[in-house]
């Protein structure tokens, strides 16, 4: 998938397109970060809805139609996340890379391997 970035279909081009899309429709006045955060949560709920009654193991292999639906919803979530980040002058990819480094320090691999996590979260598991 590396071609995606190489070909220029990257985050910056997405943000530029989103600004033009909103400007063409005069929607900018609606795009308070507060409102965009609400819209982001609504789009994420559309992903949650797809999985709400599905068994966890089955969610790893959705049928073709469900995967297409998920692709649209994942696209919508990234669209609203990028719009929100842009309003706040935050680069979402930089933010994710920086947060992942913080998570590395917060959850050292040696002390956070699955078995202990399982026990911590789920005492019933013998």
Separation CA 25–CA 23 (nearest Å): 5
Q: Which of 19, 106, 119, 125 binds its own copies (CB under 8 A)?
A: 125
Contact between 119 and its own copies by CB under 8 A: the answer reads no
Question: Measured from the CB of residue 15, what is the shortest distance to its own copies in angstroms?
Answer: 8
Contact between 124 and its own copies by CB under 8 A: the answer reads yes
Contact between 69 and its own copies by CB under 8 A: the answer reads no
Number of residues engaging its own copies in binding (CB under 8 A): 93
Instruction: Tell me, rounded to whole angstroms, the distance of Cα 3 from its chain centroid.
Output: 21
Contact between 94 and its own copies by CB under 8 A: the answer reads yes
In sequence order, the 6+-apart residues with CB closer than 8 A to the CB of 84 are: 33, 36, 37, 40
Distance (Å) of CA 14 to CA 57, 80, 113, 124: 33, 11, 36, 46
Residues between 7 and 66 that touch its own copies (CB under 8 A):
9-15, 17-18, 21, 24-27, 29-30, 32-35, 37-42, 44-63
């Amino acid at each position: 998938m590396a071609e995606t970035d190489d070909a220029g279909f990257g985050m910056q081009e997405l943000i530029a397109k989103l600004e033009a899309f909103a400007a063409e429709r005069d929607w900018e006045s609606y795009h308070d970060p507060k409102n965009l955060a609400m819209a982001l949560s609504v789009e994420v709920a559309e992903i949650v809805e797809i999985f709400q009654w599905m068994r966890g193991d089955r969610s790893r292999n959705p049928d073709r139609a469900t995967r297409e639906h998920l692709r649209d919803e994942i696209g919508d979530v990234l669209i609203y996340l990028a719009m929100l980040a842009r309003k706040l002058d935050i680069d979402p990819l930089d933010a994710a890379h920086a947060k992942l480094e913080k998570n590395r320090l917060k959850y050292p691999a040696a002390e956070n391997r699955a078995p202990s996590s399982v026990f911590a979260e789920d005492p019933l598991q013998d």
